Amino acid sequence: MTTYSIADIAKAVGATAVGDVSLCVTGLSEPADAAENSLALASTPKYAEHLAKGEAQAAFMWADADWASFGLKAAILPTRPRYAMSGLTKMFDPGPGFEDGIHTTALIDPTAVIGADVNIGPYAIVGARAQVGDGTVVGPHCYIGTDAAIGAGSFLREHVSIGARVRIGERFFAHPGVRLGGDGFSFVTPEKSDVEEARESLGDNVEATQQAWHRIHSLGGIVIGDDVEIGVNTAIDYGTIRPTKVGDRTKIDNLVHIAHNVVVGNDCLICGQVGIAGSSVIGDGCVFGGQVGISDNLKIGDRVICGASSKVLSNIPAGRVVLGYPAVKMDLHVEMYKALRRLPRLTQDIAALKKAVFKSSTND
């Protein structure tokens, strides 16, 4: 069981320790659920109210908390509690409990290059000439394709598949069911297609034709930077000629779809079920809320924030915050939406005006 003293924890997360700093805790709890040997997480006065319901003798609070007034023996007082939570939870994370070493059922091609201190789980497969960096963990049932490369210090949970020729930086983290290396969804008709016509004409005059789709193969690979994390069952497709790219330190949530040729910059946060269509380019430091959709061939500038479920149909300049379908600047969206809510009453006002002005009461 993991055990740390209050002093050790405070030092590790860069916070102040107060009271009996030699007191030891074995885990983290919400205040009301805390056992005697837990560190209660009470990072705001609102959470601290619940300390009395639990048994905690020590709590993780805020910089100027009056910790003694809660009957605690010790406390940790961080200046930015939310940030300190990162180090705190890392200390107590038991991980998935994969076994060390290379399992006897792992199938590793003799030409694969496996680094030092690598763990490879049961029924995992590593293809020809694939490279696995030092200290990397390849979970059970993973598949690493031919000529793929995964940097040092990476961690692949179970059931991950990394396609042939995918190149990944260091400290990569892949959750279960991550799939890097589907082919791009790129099909073409022998003649100009209905969709091409519709895009050009905004929907007018699209003639009905029988058309069969022919596949454009994906030769472009995928390049993933350092310190990237990718969530459960997320899919990133190969590029067509140039690689699909994800920049350094970018984090991607569950069930996200990143299409062929897309470039995602550094330090982005892409939430659950986001979809980014083919060839769009996303700047650095962008944040996309859940279920955001980015249409194809767009340019999204640096530090753009897309509110949840925004559907982006045109380019966005750097630094903009957008919302809606189609996505517009957030303040415009709020103004439009307020007006829309007032619209039924407005319709009545106009009917009254028409009656007064034109002696007519019909409105439709």
Among 5, 26, 37, 309, binds a second copy (CB under 8 A): 309
Which CB, 22 or 199, lies closer to a second copy? Answer: 199
**Residue nearer to a second copy on the CB measure, 115 or 122:** 122
Q: In this chain, which of 187, 200, 297, 314 binds a second copy, going by CB under 8 A? A: 187
Q: What 3-state class would DSSP assign to 22?
A: coil
The reply to whether 54 sits near a second copy by the rule CB under 8 A is no
Q: Is 113 in the site for a second copy (CB under 8 A)?
A: no
The binding track of 135-154 with respect to a second copy, each residue x by CB under 8 A or -, is -----xx-x-xxx-------
Are residues 219 and 241 in contact, defined by beta-carbon separation less than 8 angstroms? Answer: yes
Check residue 221 for interaction with a second copy (CB under 8 A). no
Question: Could you tell me if 59 and 42 are in contact, meaning their C-beta atoms sit under 8 angstroms apart?
Answer: yes
Contact 99, 121 (CB under 8 A): yes
Beta strands 137-138 and 155-156: pairing type? parallel
Residue 170 touching a second copy (CB under 8 A) = no
Check residue 354 for interaction with a second copy (CB under 8 A): yes
Give the C-alpha separation, 306 to 280, whole Å: 15
Cα separation of 126 and 132, whole Å?
Answer: 9
Q: C-alpha distances in angstroms, 293 versus 148, 168, 255, 306, 337?
A: 29, 25, 13, 9, 20
Residues 226-285, interacting with a second copy (CB under 8 A)? 229, 231-233, 235, 237, 240-242, 249, 251, 253-255, 257, 259, 267, 269, 271-273, 275, 277, 285
Per CB under 8 A, does 159 bind a second copy?
yes
Distance CA 292, CA 252 (A): 13
Q: Which of 22, 47 has the CB closer to a second copy?
A: 47
Give the one residue of 24, 135, 311, 315 binding a second copy; rule: CB under 8 A. 311
